A and B are shown apart, each in its own frame.
Chain A
């Protein structure tokens, strides 16, 4: 199984317009975005807050976001999760106990907080950034690197893959949304 998808060899991460990201999310018929606020997704979150669909739901912790996601899925909705890389570290037990053991399809859009735009995340001077990809690989969680507008299609691929493989699939957002 191929764990990682990236569009090219360039290590540079460039901003993705929030409007286009929102359009991709809406095209997937996502009903709810479970969110713990993320600096990289600030402009996307501002847009989501104005939408009726998907409904933006802010939770106190990432654990709650993952559990609510599972409940909405069980109840027939099409949710997704929006957090940042520090939040990923915070919710690994919920990742195991809910999404992995429950085999719950889940798209997680994760901002790489403090990622240096011109360095690959594995070479980051920031430990949280540097650990993100190896952490996902250690847990066998597929992930995609969204490094520019050209990578917007990864969102649909990741969403579909989460249903095909019945589990969590991550899209790592390399730069702040514009």
Chain B
């Protein structure tokens, strides 16, 4: 599965959910239309997207929150699985793009390919896990996934790709914060 294919399926299923995206998923998410409303692109702080999303999910429990995370980012803050599992927000959907590489810096391999993210998430208290290697299967299952009581962890096996993240083209975090806060609280 290509990252773009997964992003397109998620964008089509997003509905009125709040989305947080990070690193390599940011560009295909924007190109798929997923970032147009109720979105935050978490840049420059690898591993922070999921707990940033957790805070929003606790503040607005009636809203669905989806996170588009990366495997390298998750490994930077692996303890976040425990924190999310402990708080257990019911409408929290944690998608992790897994390709075993650090895409942004040139597809260097991660320290190990021997890990089971779904197993780690279950052990940490996530209520359900899913794993997809095919975009068509993902697309077909998304209504069921997003109706499952969370927190839900979804592994998306994708091919290694590489996109340069331009410093000058990165989103302004302060503007995003104010825009999303206004949308959620006014």
Contact = CB atoms under 8 A, between A and B. Distances in A.
B168 interface: no
A140 interface: no
Contacts, number: 112
A98 interface: yes
Given A61-B77, A64-B83, A75 B55 contact: yes
Given A60-B82, A93-B45, A97-B48, A68 B177 contact: no
B174 A103 contact: yes
A68 B44 CA distance: 16
A40 interface: no
A156 to B, nearest CB: 23
Interface string A68-109: 111111111101000000000000011011100111100000
Chain A interface size band reads 20 to 34
A69 B51 CA distance: 9
Contacts of B86: 58
A63 interface: yes
Contacts of A7: none
A68 B52 contact: yes
Contacts of A58: 86
Given A60-B80, A64-B80, A74 B55 contact: yes
Given A97-B173, A98-B45, A75 B184 contact: yes
Interface stretch (B57-65, B114-122, B137-145): B57-65
Interface residues of B, number: 34
A57 interface: yes
Interface string B43-84: 111011111111111111000000000000000010110110
A123 interface: no
Which of A57, A59, A63, A75 has most B Cβ within 10 Å?
A75
A67 interface: yes
B45 A94 contact: yes
Contact of B79 (A61, A102, A166): A61
B63 to A, nearest CB: 9
B181 interface: yes
Contacts of B58: 32, 57, 68, 71-72, 75, 77
A67 B48 contact: yes
A93 B40 CA distance: 18
B87 interface: yes
B45 A97 contact: yes
B13 interface: no
A102 B83 contact: no
Given A71-B54, A93-B45, 5 more contacts: A57-B87, A60-B79, A67-B48, A72-B59, A73-B177
14 contacts: A61-B77, A64-B77, A68-B52, A69-B55, A71-B51, A71-B56, A71-B59, A74-B55, A75-B56, A75-B181, A76-B60, A76-B181, A98-B173, A103-B178
